[in-house]
């Protein structure tokens, strides 16, 4: 039995952590939930009992074996090392430590062997990165990769509750004929729209979300020479991110061999019968644990390049589930269905 903490327990990812800890029967002895001052004293339910929310304070991690961080970069940067100092594994869902030297960036099905054997900081990758590398890992192993180009179509849940509330409110306004919407969470109205920006733009012309995908993928796959390029778009989907990907292999391969390779990957489900309109959809992936891949076809002008469509629930495999799988592997727990 483990003593567990969740920082950011009232956010959308924190709530999914709670659901999955219960559903996957993680052996929790004591659970401490941390939130903002506004939530202090309120309660959340876990395994039929109410747990009072706390704020972060000196010594709050004492006695804990594991702390999940699902809050902002600044909070993780300040409090993550304190959790480790108190003797806990700190699994951080923010971007604070992902590219830090010496901090493992982990997707268990891909590079779980790198998990440390003692209390340490462990970075949980960006949601779009996770689903991408789950599909790329078997192809890198079996064929080698030369380049990867990805366009993401990311749901509003990636911006938390505020993103979902903004889409809901704007959709109602649109249906009522009100087109004069004032966005708060996104740079433009998201209802009936697509926004080619996630994060802030850099001098290179890339936004921060795109840089995360490119840099994190190389680190997770230990593939510094593979060329990555990403283009991210926020779309008015409620939950689950989708990606169109162009993958250039180091050699040509028949489609059957490619499908066999993808089918061997743990955590990846192939849904590929496009003539029957069978391919991954965000609305079906939402609430599901695996990464889904389909629309797998060869480029007409380059037989070494394959196109595919990758979809996953960004709150589950893209965040909380991946973090919990990290913890299950750390403590050598039998993987739950």
217-270 pLDDT, tens per residue?
999 999 999 999 999 999 999 999 999 999 999 999 999 999 999 999 999 999
pLDDT at 16 over 70: yes
Q: What proportion of the chain, given as a percentage, has pLDDT over 90?
A: 92
> Active site includes 241?
yes
Across residues 84-113, what is the average pLDDT?
A: 97
pLDDT at 335: 54
Q: Average pLDDT, whole number, for the chain?
A: 95
Residue 59, helix vs strand vs coil: coil
Helix axes 12-23, 321-330, angle to 10 degrees: 50
* CATH top-level class of 2-125+319-330: alpha beta
Strand runs (DSSP E) across the chain, as ranges?
A: 2-7, 28-34, 43-46, 49-52, 66-69, 89-92, 121-123, 145-154, 227-234, 241-249, 268-270, 291-298, 305-312
Return d(Cα 77, Cα 198) in angstroms, integer. 22
| Predicted local confidence at residue 179, as pLDDT | 78
CATH 3.30.360.10 in the chain: give the residue spans: 129-314
**Residue 269 contacts residue 306 (beta carbons within 8 Å):** no
Looking only at the bridges linking them, the beta strands covering 121-123 and 89-92 are: parallel
Catalytic residue, chosen from 57, 60, 113, 127, is 127
Q: 95 versus 335: which is more confidently predicted? A: 95
Mean pLDDT of 95-119: 96
Q: Which of 149, 207, 241, 284 is catalytic?
A: 241
Contacting residues for 270 by C-beta, under 8 A, at least 6 apart: 259, 262, 263, 292, 293, 294, 296
**DSSP at 105:** B
The pLDDT value recorded for residue 333 is 76
The CATH 3.40.50.720 domain(s) of the chain lie at: 2-125+319-330
What are the angstrom distances between the C-alpha of 231 and each of 12, 172, 196, 197?
25, 29, 8, 9
Q: Is residue 152 a contact partner of residue 127, using CB atoms and an 8 Å limit?
A: no
Residues 6+ apart with CB under 8 A from 6: 14, 17, 18, 31, 32, 33, 34, 67, 68, 70
| 180 pLDDT tier (thresholds 50, 70, 90) | confident
281 burial via Cβ count (<10 Å: 0-12, 13-18, 19+): middle
Which tens digit of pLDDT belongs to each residue from 293-310?
A: 999 999 999 999 999 999
pLDDT at residue 37, rounded to an integer: 85
29-44: average pLDDT: 90
Going by the DSSP 8-state scheme, the letter that residue 119 receives in this structure is: S
Q: What angle do the packed helices 208-221 and 127-143 form, to 10 degrees?
A: 40
| H helix intervals, 91-159 | 108-111, 127-143
Active site residue 188: no
Question: Would you state the pLDDT for residue 41?
Answer: 82
Phi, psi of 156 (to 5 degrees): -70, -20
Query: Could you tell me the two tokens for 292?
Result: 């889904």
Please tell us whether the domain made up of 129-314 is placed in CATH 3.30.360.10: yes
Q: How many CB atoms lie within 10 A of CB 233?
A: 15
Q: Looking at the predicted structure, is the pLDDT value of residue 138 above 50?
A: yes
Percent of residues, the chain, with pLDDT higher than 70: 99
32 pLDDT higher than 80:
yes
What pLDDT sits at residue 15? 94
Q: Is 80 exceeded by the pLDDT of residue 336?
A: no
How is residue 164 written in tokens?
């979902």
Give the pLDDT of residue 337.
41
Cβ proximity of 293 and 270 under 8 Å: yes
pLDDT higher for 37 or 203? Answer: 203
Residue where the block lists tokens 């926020």: 234
pTM to 2 decimals? 0.95
- Report angle CA 265, 270, 274 to the nearest 5 degrees: 155
Mean pLDDT of 113-138: 97
């Amino acid at each position: 039995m483990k003593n567990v903490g969740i920082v950011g327990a009232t956010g959308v990812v924190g709530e999914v952590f709670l659901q999955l800890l219960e559903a996957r029967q993680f052996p929790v002895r004591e659970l401490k939930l941390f939130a903002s001052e506004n939530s202090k004293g309120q309660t959340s339910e876990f395994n039929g009992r109410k747990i009072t929310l706390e704020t972060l304070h000196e010594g709050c991690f004492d006695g804990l074996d594991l702390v999940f961080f699902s809050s902002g970069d600044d909070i993780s940067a300040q409090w993550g090392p304190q959790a480790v100092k108190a003797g806990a594994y700190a699994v951080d869902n923010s971007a604070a430590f992902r590219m830090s030297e010496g901090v493992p960036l982990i997707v268990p099905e891909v590079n779980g062997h790198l998990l440390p054997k003692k209390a340490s900081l462990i970075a949980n990758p960006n949601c779009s990165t996770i689903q991408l590398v789950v599909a790329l890992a078997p192809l890198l192993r079996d064929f080698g990769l030369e380049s990867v180009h990805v366009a993401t179509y990311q749901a509003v849940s990636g911006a938390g509750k505020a993103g979902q509330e903004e889409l809901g409110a704007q959709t109602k306004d649109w249906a009522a004929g009100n087109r004069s919407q004032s966005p708060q969470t996104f740079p433009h109205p998201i209802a009936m729209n697509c926004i080619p920006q996630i994060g802030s733009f850099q001098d290179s012309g890339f936004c921060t979300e795109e840089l995360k995908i490119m840099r994190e993928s190389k680190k997770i796959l230990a593939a510094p020479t593979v060329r990555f390029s990403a283009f991210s778009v926020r779309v008015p989907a409620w939950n689950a991110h989708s990606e169109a990907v162009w993958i250039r292999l180091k050699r040509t391969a028949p489609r059957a061999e490619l499908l066999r390779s993808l089918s061997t990957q743990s955590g990846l489900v192939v849904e590929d019968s496009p003539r029957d309109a069978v391919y991954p959809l965000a609305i079906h992936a939402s609430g599901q644990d695996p990464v889904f891949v389909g629309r797998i076809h060869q480029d007409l002008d380059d037989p070494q390049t394959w196109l595919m469509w990758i979809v996953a629930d960004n709150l589950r495999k893209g965040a909380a589930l991946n973090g919990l799988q990290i913890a299950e592997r750390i403590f050598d727990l039998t993987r739950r269905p």
